[in-house]
Amino acid sequence: MEQNKDQEKEQGKSFNVDQDSKNRQLESFREDVKDQYMTTDQGLRINHTDDSLKIGSRGPTIMEDFHFREKMTHLDHESIPERVVHARGSGAHGYFQPYDDSMKEYTKAQFLTDPNTRTPVFVRFSTVVGSRGSADTVRDVRGFATKFYTSEGNYDLVGNNMPVFFIQDGIKFPDLVHSIKPEADNEMPQASAAHDTFWDFASLMPEVNHMIMWVLSDRAIPRSFRMMDGFGVHTFRFINEAGKSRFVKFHWRSSLGAHSLVWDEAQKLAGKDPDWLRRDLWDAIDMGDYPEFELSVQIVEEEDEFKFDFDLLDATKIIPEELVPLRPIGKMVLNRNPDNFFAETEQVAFHPGNLVPGIDVTNDPLLQGRLFSYLDTQLNRFNSSNFTEVPINRPVTPVHNHHGAGFMKQTINKGKANYWPNSIGGGCPMMAPENQGAFVHYMEKVDGHKIRARSESFNDHYSQATMFWNSMTAVEKKHIVDAAHFELGKVESEEIRKRMLGHFSKISSELANRVAEAIGVDVPANFEQESTGNYEKDAVSGKMKQGKSVKESPSVSMERNKIESVKSRKVAVLIEDGFDCNELTQVKQALENAGAHVKIISKFLGMRKASNGTEVKVDKNHVTTGSIMYDAIYIPDGEKSIEALMKEGDALHFVNEAFKHCKTIATSGHGIKLLEKSGVVGVSYADKTSGTIKDDKGVITAGNDADAEEFAEMFMTAIKKHRHWDREEKTMVPA
């Protein structure tokens, strides 16, 4: 025994020595970067890391910028195997068809100009920040990437559900992503910008201000992938058959309109159903509610490039629709779910450099960075350049080249010649002339010094953020303020909160004061924050000083552009035994005829018996669902059913929560008593025998002798409004 103990002691000593040795070994790899100069991986000191190397301050990024390439390559290869950003996604197949041939004047891209052509598409919607295992409903930008399988090759429109971006130059992308991802020391929080490192970065980079306003708005918590708009973000070029170039911005508009969740709803859904948006898209297509998006463009003549007071090449700016209206050119319909998530949704590879004749890039420095980054990140994910041979990525047109080897190679290239020029293979594959569909880059004159800088025309970081705030309704402004309360309330550093209030004060004093009230910091007086960008004065800025501008753009407001529809809306029906079957049948039929989906909710699954003996099947029970999963609630009359519901805490909570989230609620007769007990205001049980139908801020009540058809019609009219924000202040409802 004693010998064993001695052995154990010696083993313990040995273990401790090994651990100490390992710790010392690890310690030699640890680095404290305080008071150190930034260097490349080769130890070369860097004096500027905010602008890529360009030919002139508005020129293209050049490949010799080894610092940019090293920095971007590290980001693209940091995550294995999931995407560094946009890891959590959901995809769908469909088609795009132009309305007419009116775009022939502007572009030779055949898929945009031939109304008889239906181009197959695959769309991937995604969150940006979170990992594959994060929740769908977090506050975040949503990716909206479309792959067009055109007759001229694949074209990728890689966009987001917001028309601007955080940064102006691609070289800042690694810094942005590092700051917004979980913090480096503890890998928290997941899928959230509400922490110190992101807001530290934001407070030191004024160019993020416009995008911050969009992220704090309801656009960041969409109700559905089907109910959000998409944007190409960058300014691209259209080129027609004559070789004339024009600037173009791409917009996707949902046929159902852009609608949002409320923040309380988004947080609860993250726990109740973290796959909420993905499931909604899948179910809608499965049921035949095919999502539709209209593609529109904003076209600017080359000679009008500098007629605005902002730079078209600045991805932190929009072209207000009041200055350049949208031109609808076609519609996309998503009508088929993937057969295999990994083979299609996960393996699909997008790249902004996947272009077709008639569409080209511009010198937007963020776009220039993405042209490198997207290809590089696909090489990391697939560990091969042959990812284009994966079925979901293959074009519908034949592929002929000499890329004949490498991991994942599937095509069997015949013959001896794998080089060009050659005579052994008859000179094939040969070069195509431009009139046979060859892609030819737009011949743009570029002249300037090699310089790590941006044009001074990019140095306005507040005016469009102010425009966005001015364009919001009172409800939307409240939601932005509430979002800022949450986000900055999570920031521990008072100095960071103070800097952000300084930026807000330059956007709007009202915004700054309303945010300051909740985060324990006073708005700083005479705030000035120097940009880290290196801005060079040039002639472009002078041309833009007298350019066109707007102080307000109603088109950026969701509330001012609502599309009212019942189609595909989800309605929960709360019942127990003893419900009024005749009323339920009439209302349910009216809702379904209008395209809504009705689900019967009860305490338990199985069958529920109506007062006349008819039975209906329960779709969901209280444990597995909640009001957060529905757009409206209907409670049929029936004294016994209502008495039972009034004794069920889950049913009362269902109603309370729906009321708090400003959703439409409808009931009749004895159901009014349930609303009274739930704390829903503006209703009176005394109305139960009245023949009148009332709408009090989206609460529809009717007496038990009211007309069911009229009741259903008023119910649907209220559902079309999506939310009834005028009762949002009823915060005392316990939900």
Report the pLDDT averaged over residues 152-159: 95
Q: Taking the mean position of all CA atoms in its chain, how far away is CA 132?
A: 15
- Residue found by looking up tokens 């508009």 in the block: 253
Instruction: Please calculate the CA angle 134-136-139 and round it to the nearest 5 degrees.
Output: 95
Residue that wins the pLDDT comparison between 19 and 144:
144
Rounded-to-integer distance, Cα 669 and Cα 688, Å: 4
> Of 16-20, 584-588, 604-608, where does mean pLDDT reach its minimum?
16-20
Rounded-to-integer distance, Cα 138 and Cα 134, Å: 8
What are 150's two structure tokens? 């055109």
In degrees rounded to 5, what are phi and psi of residue 124? -120, 120
Q: What is the dihedral of CA 85, 455, 59, 73, to 10 degrees?
A: -30
pLDDT above 60 for 33: yes
pLDDT above 50 for 708: yes
Rounded-to-integer distance, Cα 374 and Cα 351, Å: 5
Rounded-to-integer distance, Cα 571 and Cα 600, Å: 9
pLDDT at 11: 43
**Cβ-Cβ contacts under 8 Å for 575 (sequence gap 6 or more):** 584, 600, 601, 602, 608, 616, 635, 636, 638, 641, 645
In degrees rounded to 5, what are phi and psi of residue 239? -130, 125
Q: What crossing angle do the helices spanning 708-719 and 581-593 adopt, rounded to 10°?
A: 40
Structural domains in the chain, sorted by start: 454-560 (1.20.1370.20), 564-727 (3.40.50.880)
Question: Mind giving me the DSSP string for 631-691?
Answer: SEEEE---HHHHHHHTT-HHHHHHHHHHHHTT-EEEEETTHHHHHHHHT-SS--GGGGG-S
> Of 85-99, 345-359, 561-575, 692-706, where does mean pLDDT reach its minimum?
692-706
pLDDT band at 306; cut points 50, 70, 90:
very high
What number of residues does the chain have?
Answer: 735
Report the pLDDT averaged over residues 411-431: 87
Q: What is the dihedral of CA 267, 576, 711, 569, to 10 degrees?
A: 30
CA dist list (Å): 531 to 133, 229, 535: 36, 31, 9
pLDDT digits (tens, 9 = 90+) for 159-168: 999 999 999 9
pLDDT band at 272; cut points 50, 70, 90:
very high
Q: Taking the mean position of all CA atoms in its chain, how far away is CA 482?
A: 20
Q: How many CB atoms lie within 10 A of CB 205?
A: 23
What are 307's two structure tokens? 């007629």
pLDDT digits (tens, 9 = 90+) for 171-213: 999 999 999 999 999 999 999 999 999 999 999 999 999 999 9
pLDDT at 630: 98
What are 285's two structure tokens? 């297509």
> What's the one-letter identity of residue 180?
I
Nearest to 297 by CA among 324, 315, 323: 324
Residue 86 a catalytic site member: yes
Considering 67, 93, 154, 160, which one is annotated as catalytic?
160
Going by DSSP bridges, is the β-strand pair 153-160/53-55 parallel, antiparallel, or unpaired?
unpaired
Nearest to 223 by CA among 171, 179, 265: 265
Going by DSSP bridges, is the β-strand pair 142-150/119-127 parallel, antiparallel, or unpaired?
antiparallel
Going by DSSP bridges, is the β-strand pair 664-668/632-635 parallel, antiparallel, or unpaired?
parallel
Can you name the residues that pair with 160 across neighbouring β-strands? 143, 231
pLDDT digits (tens, 9 = 90+) for 710-729: 999 999 999 999 999 988 77
pLDDT above 60 for 5: no
Nearest to 285 by CA among 568, 592, 620, 593: 568
pLDDT at 31: 66
Rounded-to-integer distance, Cα 409 and Cα 386, Å: 6
> Of 317-326, 421-430, 639-648, 683-692, where does mean pLDDT reach its minimum?
683-692
What are 165's two structure tokens? 């971006």
pLDDT at 95: 96
Question: Mind giving me the DSSP string for 264-329?
Answer: HHHHHHHHH-TTHHHHHHHHHHHTT---EEEEEEEEEEGGGTTSBSS-TT-TT----TTTS--EEE
3-state secondary structure of 540: helix
Average confidence score pLDDT of the chain: 91
Rounded-to-integer distance, Cα 167 and Cα 173, Å: 7
> Of 234-243, 313-322, 359-368, 441-450, where does mean pLDDT reach its minimum?
441-450
Residue 160 a catalytic site member: yes
Write the DSSP symbol of residue 729.
Answer: T
pLDDT digits (tens, 9 = 90+) for 383-412: 888 889 899 999 988 888 888 788 888 888
Rounded-to-integer distance, Cα 237 and Cα 609, Å: 63
What are 515's two structure tokens? 């945010």
Can you name the residues that pair with 90 across neighbouring β-strands? 125
pLDDT band at 228; cut points 50, 70, 90:
very high
Q: Would you say 63 and 73 are in contact if contact means Cβ atoms under 8 Å apart?
A: no
Percent of the chain topping pLDDT 70: 93
CA dist list (Å): 108 to 99, 241, 243, 438: 16, 5, 9, 12
Question: Mind giving me the DSSP string for 480-524?
Answer: HHHHHHHHHHT---HHHHHHHHHHHHHH-HHHHHHHHHHHT-PPP
Q: For the purposes of burial, counting CB atoms within 10 Å of the CB of 604, is it exposed (0-12), middle (13-18) or buried (19 or more)? A: exposed
pLDDT digits (tens, 9 = 90+) for 116-139: 999 999 999 999 999 999 999 999
What are 24's two structure tokens? 């010392």
Residue that wins the pLDDT comparison between 24 and 525:
525
pLDDT band at 682; cut points 50, 70, 90:
low
